Amino acid sequence: MKIVFLGVGEACDEYQPNNSHLVISETILLLDCGYTTPPQLWKYNPDPSFLDAIYITHRHADHYFGIPPLFVRLWEERRTKPLTIVCQKGLKGTIEELIEYGYRGLYERLTFPVEFLEIEEEREYRLNELTIKAAPTVHSVKNLAIRISDGRNTVCFSGDGRFNSRTEALYRGADLLIHEAYLIEGHHPNHACIMELADMAQRNGIGCLALTHLQRGIRRREIETIRAMIEKRGLNIIIPEALGEYTF
């Protein structure tokens, strides 16, 4: 399994693309598809048949508004391979409406089948060779963090939101946890902070913690301070750059 950090930025960062990642196993799964995600995907691999599935954590623009332009390009390049969209129950209609608002009539003209897998929290699902399970974070809208395993390695992705006892249980023992980290420390009602994440990762045996979605000013001004704090803790914590890779 390999992870490609397509984008690592928060919603309003003018330098960093939206928080979105590829899980590359036998199945190629895109984690979230914000409005700046499609160009990152095309930079990495422009093949219209490359993706097998997309997982959408929640209904915020920087996590799913990239679907219409992605679909336009797949249609223009005559993709025929089916594409699966995995999402929480109730999001299917919203995604279909978004495509229609973005490009009226496109959905009916698509050259490839779109299949939806609507999931519920804390139930286990299969996506080809992958096992997936989700749990809610603390966020302003319902967000389902996800755990993905290929039978050898396990990666978790928070989407947006602070962790709680249910997401801690989901993350426990993961080889890699990609978690949004808006602040260094302190409290934000809808986002996590680095120091709390470091403690949580340590007590739950996380192999590696990847910090993404840092507040744009903090990322630009405090990145060296953050790296020094991480080194002092002696934990396996990384701050990936866009299009960086992590291989198990």
CA distance 15 to 204: 32
* Residue ranges covered by each domain of the chain: 2-247
pLDDT given at position 208: 97
Angle, CA 103 vertex, CA 97 and CA 109 arms, to 5°:
90
Between CA 191 and CA 180 the distance in angstroms is 7
Written as tens digits, the pLDDT of the chain (248 aa) is 999 999 999 999 999 999 999 999 999 999 999 999 999 999 999 999 999 999 999 999 999 999 999 999 999 999 999 999 999 999 999 999 999 999 999 999 999 999 999 999 989 999 999 999 999 999 999 999 999 999 999 999 999 999 999 999 999 999 999 999 999 998 899 999 999 999 999 999 999 999 999 999 999 999 999 999 888 888 899 999 999 999 99
| Angstrom distance (rounded) from CA 199 to CA 215 | 20
Q: List pLDDT tens digits, range 159-194.
A: 999 999 999 999 999 999 999 999 999 889 999 999
Q: Which amino acid is at 119?
A: I
If you search the block for the tokens 């992605």, which residue do you land on? Answer: 70
Domain 2-247: give its CATH architecture: 4-Layer Sandwich (3.60)
Q: Between vectors from CA 1 to CA 142 and to CA 17, what angle results, nearest 5°?
A: 50
